[in-house]
């Protein structure tokens, strides 16, 4: 039986004083890959923010990686986030450090202390994203696609139950975008993590169809799959 990683029931989401999404009901299980689409300002970012504890839910109920969003305290947020991997559009890597140093920095910051285990884990995640030979490169020596793979490697470091990818192909060409989506799909299958990808990239969604959720008119609506539409 699949394990729910995200469970939202009639969840109400506000951004400042504005109602963004109302009566959101959603279940995403382990191993599942899901797209989140919608126009700018439709609520995609606000939905992601409640999932990593940056916004409180205003009504209804929600569970993420075993944490009750109604009862989530500031002290618990760092522990929730250790169960998450977040992939940013703008990378947010440390440009004055090597690939290796970027990844070791995250491990130290999240409580790892055994140097041998840290080195082993860095090697493991770099292998998972196909960049085993790039560990001593500086970021300016990497392509945009390679940098995004490093961001995905960083997201994998703490064996996340959920990966949230916010426009991961936004700064990439179409071929590289395809590679990144295929990699995220592979990770969802092989690592057991649920993967939620917020994206405007309709070409990628058409090329690699999967379950798709649409933020529209203050609601979260499940779309008919692109595969069914093209049949």
Domain boundary among 124, 159, 194: 159
Give the pLDDT band of residue 76 (cuts 50, 70, 90).
Answer: very high
Q: Same domain for 102 and 190? A: no
Q: Same domain for 199 and 148? A: no
Domain boundaries, position 127 = 88-159
Flag whether 17 is in a domain: yes
- How many other C-beta atoms lie within 10 A of the C-beta of residue 223? 15
Flag whether 12 is in a domain: yes
Rounded to an integer, what distance in angstroms lies between the CA atom of residue 33 and that of residue 156? 15
Q: Same domain for 79 and 96? A: no
DSSP-assigned letter for residue 2: P
Looking at the chain, the number of H-run helices and the number of E-run strands are 8, 10
The Cα-based distances of 20 to 27, 37, 57, 120, 211 in angstroms read 19, 14, 11, 43, 22
pLDDT of residue 3: 76
Q: Same domain for 73 and 96? A: no
- What's the pLDDT tens digit per position in 15-53? 888 999 999 999 999 999 999 999 988 999 999 999 999
Q: Same domain for 112 and 21? A: no
- What's the pLDDT tens digit per position in 92-133? 899 999 999 999 999 999 999 999 999 999 999 999 999 999
């Amino acid at each position: 039986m699949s394990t729910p990683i995200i469970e939202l029931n009639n969840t109400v989401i506000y951004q400042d004083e504005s109602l963004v999404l109302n009566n959101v009901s959603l279940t995403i299980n382990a191993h599942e890959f899901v797209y989140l689409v919608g126009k700018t300002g439709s609520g995609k970012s606000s939905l992601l923010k409640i999932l990593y504890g940056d916004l409180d839910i205003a009504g209804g109920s929600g569970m993420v990686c075993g944490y009750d969003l109604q009862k989530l305290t500031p002290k618990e947020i760092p522990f929730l986030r250790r169960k998450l991997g977040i992939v940013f559009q703008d990378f947010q890597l440390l440009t004055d450090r090597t690939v290796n140093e970027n990844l070791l920095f995250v491990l130290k910051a999240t409580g790892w202390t055994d140097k041998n285990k840290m080195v082993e884990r860095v090697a493991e995640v770099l292998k998972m994203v196909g960049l085993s030979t790039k560990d001593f490169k500086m970021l300016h020596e990497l392509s945009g696609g390679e940098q995004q793979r490093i961001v995905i490697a960083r997201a994998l470091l703490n064996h996340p139950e959920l990966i949230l990818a916010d426009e991961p192909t936004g700064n990439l060409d179409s071929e590289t975008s395809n590679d990144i989506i295929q990699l995220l799909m592979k990770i969802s299958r092989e690592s057991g993590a649920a993967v939620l990808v917020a994206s405007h990239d309709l070409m990628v969604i058409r090329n690699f169809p999967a379950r798709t959720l649409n933020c529209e008119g203050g609601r979260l609506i499940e779309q008919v799959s692109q595969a069914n539409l093209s049949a």
